[in-house]
A and B are shown apart, each in its own frame.
Chain A
Amino acid sequence: METSSRELQAAEYLEKHQIKEVVSYLTSALLFFRPEKPKEYLISLLERLRIAKVTGVAFPFFMDNSNIVAMFEMMDSSGRGTISFVQYKEALKTLGLCTEDEDLQDDGHKITLDKFKEEVNKRMKEICEKTKGKDSESYQTAAGLLLLH
């Protein structure tokens, strides 16, 4: 079935405003916190997002730095300090930072914690730049907060 121009336009719109990520974040938050009144909770989350976009205050990402370390440690069950390439790719997909068909180079070495952190932060920053608000510099601060060790 060929995709009509309206469909392509819609897909572009979703891509441009990152609607999928936002909806995914909202649904995860709802299912995790399970508030009594889902609509009010969603409204409050969206208000926070809106304010974050405008003022550049810390974007309420679900994952922050300590989570990245925890995630790495979970995957590295034997405590060697490295994870395999397959695990690394899966982790990036789970975080929503890499698409299915993106081709990551496997440089033969295992991925260490630092490389993992670096890659995650780099991708998060890319996303922040794409959805920059009115003041792109102040938005960089949000990404900068994430990079704090």
Chain B
Amino acid sequence: MDATIAPHRIPPEMPQYGEENHIFELMQNMLEQLLIHQPEDPIPFMIQHLHRDNDNVPRIVILGPPASGKTTIAMWLCKHLNSSLLTLENLILNEFSYTATEARRLYLQRKTVPSALLVQLIQERLAEEDCIKQGWILDGIPETREQALRIQTLGITPRHVIVLSAPDTVLIERNLGKRIDPQTGEGHEEGCHRLGSELEDTGKEIYHTTFDWPPESEIQNRLMVPEDISELETAQKLLEYHRNIVRVIPSYPKILKVISADQPCVDVFYQALTYVQSNHRTNAPFTPRVLLLGPVGSGKSLQAALLAQKYRLVNVCCGQLLKEAVADRTTFGELIQPFFEKEMAVPDSLLMKVLSQRLDQQDCIQKGWVLHGVPRDLDQAHLLNRLGYNPNRVFFLNVPFDSIMERLTLRRIDPVTGERYHLMYKPPPTMEIQARLLQNPKDAEEQVKLKMDLFYRNSADLEQLYGSAITLNGDQDPYTVFEYIESGIINPLPKKIP
């Protein structure tokens, strides 16, 4: 019964199902919630958690010094991800809560809200329907380590933390150009007038004299200068920020990303969005089933060999399999040989049978595989799917035509030693060897062109079929390409916003 006498043969459907439905992450999230809240009655709690189904909603914290563009980025992310934005100002302005009223009073007196009260406000707000269903973005909170720890003790954990950073001089200058449009934002004007000028800026669009000037002249005319943006005040705020942020960052070790705010707004937003849509690496068990696609000469065999060597995957090269079958004179080999002799393509059905035989072997199932050379067109791809060999990572290696020609047409082989040379990348050492080098007729220019055309005719269909494929630039040195492939395999696939 134990694994030493008879090794456990886990049917491949199980790990495939587990990967597709993210069972590991599902269970992990449930356990996390159980341990944070430790309910007396775990089973109804688990049922409720599953009903809520909010494992993948955005939970983001954006931190950064004043004038880094936090609020702008936060608002854009909110609109894009359709989540709720929480800032100090809009938490205090909540009119339906006693805590908020208390907070407002203290804010008017001392210009800050005590951490305990603030965190209580956050807790109340996050328990509301819209935050649970659609996620939340905290803008500028936690500011201090105390706030960070309090939030953590309540069990509120963000999934992504973005810290914007820029040199102080840039920020001070930028702050001087800040302008506010008083007319955007929803209906808080009444409450705002009572609460002091800083709160008037709630939800208002922020513009800038140099970087983000609104195109419409009517907006330009009504822009106001906000209070306390003078150099001295900004410098003071920056000092305080630097003092505090150093102690907040260690609270979020693996989920933090620092983005430079010293670039155009759109670039910062794009980086933030890509980061927020990526999943973190999990400990889920994962057997890679990698498919490498690309025109002839793009480096598929080399990358497959590197992958097989480093991760001990099984390197399945379609062409190689067929040649081996013929050489070994197996039953399949006998059937394939006439096609080889006539130089015709082997029919799909036969091809699939040979592939199935290899991919069904125990070492492929247990260790995972790297497949290349197939599928060449949509029909083969559908056949693969139907047989159940679904790759969980697909890579397209793009290499421009000229590079491919260079790589292939300059290949030579020495008939005496059998050594392979390349006239540009690995030239033969002596003139004598060079004189006797031969070229493989398959590497002639016209043949290469033919094969490339064939690939590109089918590539559009294949790209559509494998929607989550990763496209790489194959025109670099092999180890760089290998690193890209590695990171594509190890990191979880980015999730697409529906």
Task: Tell me whether A64 is interfacial, beta carbon within 8 Å.
Answer: no
Query: Contacts of A34 on B, CB cut-off 8 Å?
Result: 13-14, 17
Query: Contacts of B23 on A, CB cut-off 8 Å?
Result: 27, 30-31, 38
Q: Which of B1-36 contact A (CB under 8 A)?
A: 1-2, 13-14, 17-18, 21, 23, 26-27, 30-31, 34-35
Query: Contacts of B18 on A, CB cut-off 8 Å?
Result: 31
Q: Which of A38-54 contact B (CB under 8 A)?
A: 38-39, 42-43, 46-47, 49-50, 53
Query: Contacts of A75 on B, CB cut-off 8 Å?
Result: 1
Give CA–CA (A91, B3) in the complex, Å: 11
Interface segment, A16-24, A121-129, A135-143? Answer: A16-24
Whole-angstrom distance between the Cβ of A93 and the nearest chain B Cβ: 8
Q: A23-B27, A34-B14 are in contact. Are A46 and B46 (CB under 8 A)?
A: yes
Task: Tell me whether B47 is interfacial, beta carbon within 8 Å.
Answer: yes
Whole-angstrom distance between the Cβ of B14 and the nearest chain A Cβ: 5
Task: Tell me whether B251 is interfacial, beta carbon within 8 Å.
Answer: no
Task: Report whether B30 and A23 are in contact in the complex, using a CB–CB cutoff of 8 Å.
Answer: yes
Task: Report whether A49 and B17 are in contact in the complex, using a CB–CB cutoff of 8 Å.
Answer: no
Task: Tell me whether A5 is interfacial, beta carbon within 8 Å.
Answer: no
Task: Tell me whether A26 is interfacial, beta carbon within 8 Å.
Answer: yes
Give CA–CA (A39, B27) in the complex, Å: 10
Give CA–CA (A75, B26) in the complex, Å: 34
Count class of interface residues, chain B: 20 to 34
Task: Tell me whether A10 is interfacial, beta carbon within 8 Å.
Answer: yes
**Number of A-B residue pairs at CB separation under 8 A:** 60
Task: Report whether B46 and A94 are in contact in the complex, using a CB–CB cutoff of 8 Å.
Answer: no
Q: A38-B21, A39-B53 are in contact. Are A19 and B14 (CB under 8 A)?
A: no
Q: Closest A-chain residue to B26, C-beta based?
A: A38
Task: Tell me whether A74 is interfacial, beta carbon within 8 Å.
Answer: yes
Q: A10-B35, A19-B31, A43-B51 are in contact. Are A50 and B1 (CB under 8 A)?
A: no
Query: Contacts of B53 on A, CB cut-off 8 Å?
Result: 39
Query: Contacts of A87 on B, CB cut-off 8 Å?
Result: 1-2
Task: Tell me whether B50 is interfacial, beta carbon within 8 Å.
Answer: yes
Q: A interface, by DSSP: helix, strand, loop or mixed?
A: helix
Whole-angstrom distance between the Cβ of A14 and the nearest chain B Cβ: 8
Query: Contacts of A9 on B, CB cut-off 8 Å?
Result: 38
Whole-angstrom distance between the Cβ of B478 and the nearest chain A Cβ: 38
Give CA–CA (A50, B41) in the complex, Å: 10
Task: Tell me whether A90 is interfacial, beta carbon within 8 Å.
Answer: yes
Q: Which of A58-97 contact B (CB under 8 A)?
A: 71, 74-75, 87, 90-91, 94
Task: Report whether B38 and A10 are in contact in the complex, using a CB–CB cutoff of 8 Å.
Answer: yes
Task: Tell me whether B416 is interfacial, beta carbon within 8 Å.
Answer: no
Query: Contacts of B43 on A, CB cut-off 8 Å?
Result: 22, 46, 49-50, 53
Task: Tell me whether B44 is interfacial, beta carbon within 8 Å.
Answer: yes
Query: Contacts of A42 on B, CB cut-off 8 Å?
Result: 26, 50
Task: Report whether A19 and B50 are in contact in the complex, using a CB–CB cutoff of 8 Å.
Answer: no
Task: Tell me whether B494 is interfacial, beta carbon within 8 Å.
Answer: no
Instruction: Supply 9 further A-B pairs (C-beta < 8 A) apart from A27-B27, A32-B14.
Output: A22-B43, A23-B31, A26-B27, A38-B23, A43-B50, A47-B47, A49-B43, A90-B1, A94-B1
A-B contact list, 29 entries, CB within 8 Å: A9-B38, A13-B35, A13-B38, A19-B31, A19-B34, A23-B27, A23-B30, A23-B31, A26-B27, A27-B27, A31-B17, A31-B18, A34-B13, A34-B14, A39-B26, A39-B50, A42-B26, A46-B43, A46-B46, A46-B50, A47-B47, A50-B43, A50-B44, A50-B47, A74-B1, A87-B1, A87-B2, A91-B2, A94-B1
Residues of B participating in the A interface, judged by any CB pair closer than 8 Å:
1-2, 13-14, 17-18, 21, 23, 26-27, 30-31, 34-35, 38, 42-44, 46-47, 50-51, 53
8 interchain residue pairs of minimum CB distance: A90-B2, A34-B17, A31-B14, A50-B43, A46-B47, A75-B1, A17-B42, A38-B21
